[in-house]
Each structure stands twice: as C-alpha cells, then as structure tokens.
Amino acid sequence: MVDGIFYIRGENIFDVGLRFSLVELAAEYNIQAKAVNQRNEKSVQIIVSGSRKNIESFHYYVSKNDVRFFKQPSNLMYQVSDMGEYHGPAIDFYSYRQSLITAQLGKILYTADNTLPTTKATLEEVNENIKDIKDDIGSTLKDIGNTLRDISKNLANK
C-alpha cells in the first residue's frame, strides 16, 4: 500500500463537483482518495492510497481528462502537479467520505430550498396558462358548434 499526494490548480476548480468526482473516480481505480479545497492557495489537494500502479493510472487520467462534474470549456483545463509521496498523518478515508457526502447533501438542500419558490411560482404560471388555454378552447368549440348549427339551418332552408 502506497500513499501519494498531488495538487490541482487552475480556474473553476471550486463548486464544480471536482472533489466528489475525484473520490468517486478513485474507487474505479480501486484506491482511496481525499480531496481538500485549499481556497487560499487556489488549489485542491488530493491524497491517495492504494497500489502504486493504480495510483499512477488514476493520476494520469486526472491529468489528461476534465473530471469535474460540471464540465468547463476546454480552455479552462486545470493543471495537475506531479505525484509526491505522502508522509502525513493516517487518513480515515471512510470518515472523510461520509463527511464529503454530508457536505454535498447540504449543498443540494440549500440549492433546492432556493429553487423551490421559483419552481412553485413557475408551476402556478403554467396552471394559469392551462386554464386560459382551456377557456380559449371551450370558447372556440362553442363558436364552431354555433357555426355548424348555422350551416345546418342554412342547408335545411335551401
């Protein structure tokens, strides 16, 4: 088991699903990852643990592909540092993963709370539009019925 560390720097690396995507992608490489935003340094620190081969494959993939959940224009690709050896304290990846999931759920709830009032207002507008359309159709059908009766009367009088 090897532990490594590298950094991602660049534009639009925060609030675009990068950390979550890195942790999920790491599982595909059968390694563990902890991704920490370092906003003051404008970077994301990634600590990984697993086999050397899998870590190297993961690092290579991340350096060549935009793994952000919310993709960015190609001219805004981030830069990935070289892989170094990690010699810091042991990482409890399970607890980190639970913490990350909780944080992501919090973002979802916050976004939903801010979005729901607008969605409700939009649905109310749609309902009003449907009522108007229904009234217009009813009126049009009544006019068509009257016209057909008039045509029928005219044909009967001839």
pLDDT tens digits, residue range 39-69? Answer: 999 999 999 999 999 999 999 999 999 999 8
Number of residues that make up the chain: 158
pLDDT in tens, 74-83: 778 899 999 9
What is 4-73 written as a DSSP string?
EEEEEESSS-SSSSHHHHHHHHHHHTT-EEEEEEEGGGTEEEEEEEE-HHHHHHHHHHHHHS---SS---
Query: 138, exposed or middle or buried, with CB in 10 Å at 0-12, 13-18, 19+?
Result: exposed
Residue-range domain boundaries for the chain: 2-91
For residue 62, the model assigns a pLDDT of 96
Task: Give the mean model confidence (pLDDT) for residues 8-20.
Answer: 92
Flag whether the pTM goes above 0.85: no
Task: Give the mean model confidence (pLDDT) for residues 112-127.
Answer: 73
> What's domain 2-91's architecture?
2-Layer Sandwich (3.30)
